[in-house]
Structure 1
């Protein structure tokens, strides 16, 4: 009986000792470094752009092990730092902001330091302006106009960007070629397209468009394609009677590396060499009188042979190399001496 009492006494003493040890360990004070992600918020976030919206800082806290563990759990989530915005820069004192955090204060830890101790943020008021939507369907010819639904959207943008961007705000509904290739010519199509800023307006400058998607309704007539030609011959054009007075020699008779754009079937016939492309250089009588020594080509022409053997020309777009402007063609223009020729 005595042995049984001694065993129970030993168990009770051991349990009490363990509880005291765990309590003492939990209450042992220490320091801990914790990484904190701050989230800067304002009362009306739809009307303000805050940069940066978040910032990571490292804080040193002191407290019991239990309090430090609780603080660690609280700070695993972003900590909202609410402030009153003004247009321009503002400095946030991190220590004061965190000391006002109710959940962190409830843990009982003491914040000793923060690195950095202050953070500078920038705020700008959001303004809203109406904008017409421009439909962009690269490589496609349509029957009539493209209908945009709705035709006008609202662009929300920082006030300082609006002050720098004078004039109308333009946006576009751009359809990539891959998507257009899946549509059949000759049919009416209605597709949903995302709207994006246009004409150089930055897409990542805090701009939002509402609604962000519009519908485009159109009938596709044909697709525009392009092909690259190693060489294209230059052909002169002008009043026929001028050739009795002037001799014109084209010193650059061949253009190299020419990209031609046109209706899909026409491009296919150019690639199969059924149709020839020439570069037309039009010279006026006045230019011949002045004996100009160079001039860019006027346009590119696809010469289509008809069943009766005649040819008709269809104007096509062309680009020489990577240049957006055609280079000048060198010329040698001489007046014909009629007396000597006679």
Structure 2
């Protein structure tokens, strides 16, 4: 019996032909799929430009062999960069599919972009300019400081059309929040401040600063303003059940030359007469029964015309609780 031999050359030929047929069949097999993608617009070349919106989301209909579609899908994971016109104003970008297909690494995937949704987008291009400005520290009025130093100058970038509104030389504000100051004790301090355009210049859009934060060094002397009030009215706080039982006479209805320390707004209200300073004295039933001849001021408060008020730090000389002289007499018919 003859043994059958394997024809190696024939087997190799059949294998090669089969592979070629499979490859050709795959290349000729097309399918369509829809994938999300992002286009990003930038102005090429020199100069600073702002494109708004800078990115747009799209749905792309893709056609091609399965492997080509897979390559396109991987490519669409990253934004597709498209050039924008270096000219101020609104621009309509039409036929996004053909513009995206013109990009080399997109075309090299072997797949075709049939369409995009949306088919076109609108962008707004703004030319930017950069100016260098000095800075000044803007600290809360409730603090008294000296030796204020700011670490560096700042570059401001904004639309060229807005730049002519800026004064020359330009000085920017470095703002320290009031609550940052309030937690400090008097002494030398360095804090980070936020760079801003002075409020008197009005509103600007699309403005950025480099750096946006700078260091401010200063010596804090006190956290509040002070004023000397010529006189503070004395107010007695007494128990309600004692009304009609005793007469309390004050030789002087006011304390003279009271120094008040408070925030700037409160000081301004005192200076304008919108609010007045009150020295509050507590008088208990026991005090009246004993007919005390003086009581210390418990606290000082600023009382405004609208009925609002707040306790403030105040002293007569160096005394925050000066004595108030008084004469107490029981009224007729009341128990001695």
Larger Rg: 2
Match of 1:155 in 2: 156
Q: Which residue of 1 aligns with 2:110?
A: 108
Q: Does 1:47 align with 2:48?
A: yes
RMSD: 4.3
- Map 1:67-82 → 2, pairs under 5 A: 67-82=68-83
2:138 corresponds in structure 1 to 136
Report the alpha carbon displacement of residue 302 of structure 1 after superposing the two structures with TM.
Answer: 6.2
Partner of 1:305: 316
1: CA distance, partners of 2:38 / 2:202: 32
Once residues 48 and 112 of structure 1 are traced to their aligned partners in structure 2, the CA distance between those partners, rounded to angstroms, is: 31
1:31 match: 32
**CA–CA separation in structure 1 for the residues paired with 2:178 and 2:24:** 70
Compared with structure 1, are the counterparts of its residues 108 and 22 closer, same or farther at alpha carbon in structure 2 (3 Å cutoff)? closer
Q: Are 1:275 and 2:299 counterparts?
A: yes
Instruction: Provide TM-score, normalisation by structure 2.
Output: 0.60
SS in 1 for 2:143: strand
* Cα separation, 2, equivalents of 1:309 and 1:175: 31
3-state DSSP of counterpart to 1:146: strand
CA contact (8 A) 2:142 2:262 kept: no
Deviation at 1:108, TM superposition (A): 2.4
User: What SS does structure 1 have at the residue aligned with 2:206?
Assistant: coil
Instruction: Indicate the residue corresponding to 2:67 in structure 1.
Output: 66
Out of 126, 129, 150, the position equivalent to 1:127 is 129
Measured in 2, the distance between the counterparts of 1:223 and 1:124 equals 44
Aligned length: 255
Whole-Å separation in 2 of the counterparts to 1:280 and 1:178: 25
Q: Distance in 1 between matches of 2:13 and 2:183?
A: 81
| Distance in 2, Cα, partners of 1:280 & 1:34 | 67
Whether contact under 8 Å (1:173, 1:196) holds in the other structure is yes
* TM-score, normalisation: structure 1: 0.59
- CA shift, 1:4, in A, is 7.9
Aligned-residue offset at 1:222 = 2.4
CA distance change for structure 1 residues 183 and 277 in 2, over 3 Å: closer, same or farther?
closer
CA distances 1:99-137 after superposition (whole Å, capped 9, x unpaired):
211111112222221211111111111123344423233
Deviation for aligned residue 1:23: 5.4
Q: C-alpha separation between the residues in 1 aligned to 2:320 and 2:161?
A: 65
Q: Work out whether residues 33 and 59 of structure 1, in 8 Å CA contact, stay in contact via their aligned partners in 2.
A: yes
Q: Equivalent residue for 1:214? A: 214
Partners of 1:280 and 1:301 within 8 A in 2: no
- Partner of 2:185: helix, strand, or coil? coil
* 1:190 corresponds to: 190
Closer, same or farther in 2 for the Cα pair 1:128/1:10, shift >3 Å? closer
**Pair 1:174–1:166, CA change in 2 (3 A):** closer
Question: Which string of whole-angstrom CA distances, capped at 9 and with x for unpartnered residues, describes residues 153-199 of structure 1?
Answer: 33110123446x5657663322335544554322x223343423441
CA offsets, 1:256-286, max 9 Å, x none? xxxx9439xxxxx99xx743124589xxxxx
Instruction: Identify unmatched segments of 5+ residues in structure 1.
Output: 226-233, 236-259, 264-268, 282-294, 312-342
User: Which stretch has the larger CA shift, 17-26 or 211-220?
Assistant: 17-26
SS in 2 for 1:144: strand
Which residue pairs with 1:242 in the alignment? none
1: CA distance, partners of 2:198 / 2:3: 94
2-side partners of 1:309 and 1:221: how far apart?
20
**Whole-Å Cα distance in 1 between the matches of residues 185 and 17 of structure 2?**
84
